[in-house]
Amino acid sequence: MGKVLMIGAGGVGTVVAHKLAQNADVFTDIMIASRTKTKCDAIAEAIAKYGKARISTEKVDADNVAELVTLFKSFAPEIVINVALPYQDLTIMDACLEAGVNYLDTANYEPLDEAHFEYSWQWAYRERFEKAGLTAILGCGFDPGVSGVFTAYAAKHHFDEMHSLDIVDCNAGDHHKAFATNFNPEINIREITQKGRYYQDGKWVETGSLEIHQPVTYPNIGPRESYLLYHEELESLVLSFPTIKRARFWMTFGQEYLTHLRVIQNIGMARIDEIDYNGQKIVPIQFLKAVLPNPQDLGENYQGETSIGCRISGLKDGKPTTYYIYNNCSHEAAYKETGMQGVSYTTGVPAMIGAMMFLKGIWKKVGVHNVEEFDPDPFLEQLGKQGLPWHEILNKDLEF
């Protein structure tokens, strides 16, 4: 049906590639590109076993618009899947506009020199994509991504008005490392150490980093201490669903992880500004990334599962209603299928489905759009088929 070009050859990219190759009736031609071609070649070799799609690889610098444009024009994909670094979102969007290619990513743009999460930079591209007749789909991982689709599904099928939204993200897995992050350490640590923020009655309320927390019970896992963070999908969801009065995001962390994180912060290793070391400029968090375990290598010994979902309250037919929609993903099953752990799997599978929705003409709307702006039903129909089955609980205690 179509040609797709994926930028990024990390853990998420590996999962996306497996899923693209498994759906060769939709993705007939797959190109994998990154700064390190050998990584792309290794992924291509791993997915060749599926045997139907035409697979190619290429070296490209995702910070270089001219290089990207040359690659896009030579391969002529129908859509680019960006699973590179969030710092590179805008250069890839610029290249898509110049080359006339549609775009999809899994995380919002972040400036390299500031831990700041905001869609404004990418939303500023709306008019340019509309004039070019192109589609850009933002935040099509799990959270952001499936969390937005879950919310849209709830609004469509279970509520006349949604009043509260709590996105809950639990990783109950054990990778048997003293300290490791489940995706890019630089991005992960920046996200967790920023101040918390939530939406309440039309305003954003700021909190201290990990200041607010409470135990939450997760299906098949049990109670886990959950910490309030700011997460980018909250920004778009409260605009898309204006009846929401309160929106929050929660994530679990073990005490050992938090102790390591506190030490990293206290000794300055979480800094994102340059320092001078023996006459050489280095960024402490980038050095830390180089010495921490590679998230791609965690899968082999990872046990347990993730549980991510949306807990929503509101009104249906004038009656108070509660709704919980979630997915649990096994790290062992994810590794057996793709060689990657569950956090990469839960991000990579939805990215492929978003591209599938576009190529099938279901999610095809010119401009720049977050996932909740599209029909959730066909996406969720594929989510279960592609390895992430979802479940619903209606009118039970939300714990919030």
* Residue 182: pLDDT over 70: no
Percent of the chain with pLDDT over 90: 78
Q: Which pLDDT belongs to residue 134?
A: 98
- pLDDT tens-digit map of 79-99: 999 999 999 999 999 999 999
* Residue 294: pLDDT over 80: no
Topology (CATH) of 146-339+387-394: Dihydrodipicolinate Reductase; domain 2 (3.30.360)
Here the tokens at position 392 are 């619903």
Give the pLDDT band of residue 318 (cuts 50, 70, 90): very high
- pLDDT tens-digit map of 191-230: 777 899 999 999 999 999 899 999 999 999 999 999 999 9
Question: What single-letter amino acid sits at 303?
Answer: Q
- pLDDT tens-digit map of 108-122: 998 866 667 789 999
Whole-angstrom distance, CA of residue 313 vs CA of residue 118: 26
β-strand partners of 326: 309, 391
- Specify burial of residue 385 (Cβ count, 10 A radius: 0-12, 13-18, 19+): exposed
Whole-angstrom distance, CA of residue 227 vs CA of residue 117: 18
Whole-angstrom distance, CA of residue 300 vs CA of residue 340: 8
Whole-angstrom distance, CA of residue 317 vs CA of residue 55: 51
∠ CA 199-313-394, rounded to 5°: 145
Return the minimum-mean-pLDDT range out of 194-198, 236-240, 355-359: 194-198
Contact (Cβ atoms closer than 8 angstroms) between residue 328 and residue 219: yes
> What is the DSSP code string of 120-166?
HHHHTTHHHHHHHT-EEEE--BTTTBHHHHHHHHHHHHT-SEEEEEE
Here the tokens at position 138 are 């933002």
Whole-angstrom distance, CA of residue 368 vs CA of residue 125: 7
Question: What single-letter amino acid sits at 388?
Answer: L
The sign one gets for the Cα dihedral 239, 249, 389, 47 is positive
| Rg over CA atoms, the chain | 20
Average pLDDT along the chain: 93
- Could you give the count of Cα atoms lying within 13 Å of 297 in the half-sphere of its Cβ? 5
Closest-CA residue to 296 (of 17, 63, 79, 107) = 17
> What is the DSSP code string of 25-63?
TTEEEEEEEES-HHHHHHHHHHHGGG-SSEEEEEE--TT
* Residue 146: pLDDT over 80: yes
Please provide the CATH number assigned to the domain covering 2-138.
Answer: 3.40.50.720
Domain positions in the chain: 2-138, 146-339+387-394
Here the tokens at position 2 are 């179509």
Q: Which pLDDT belongs to residue 183?
A: 61
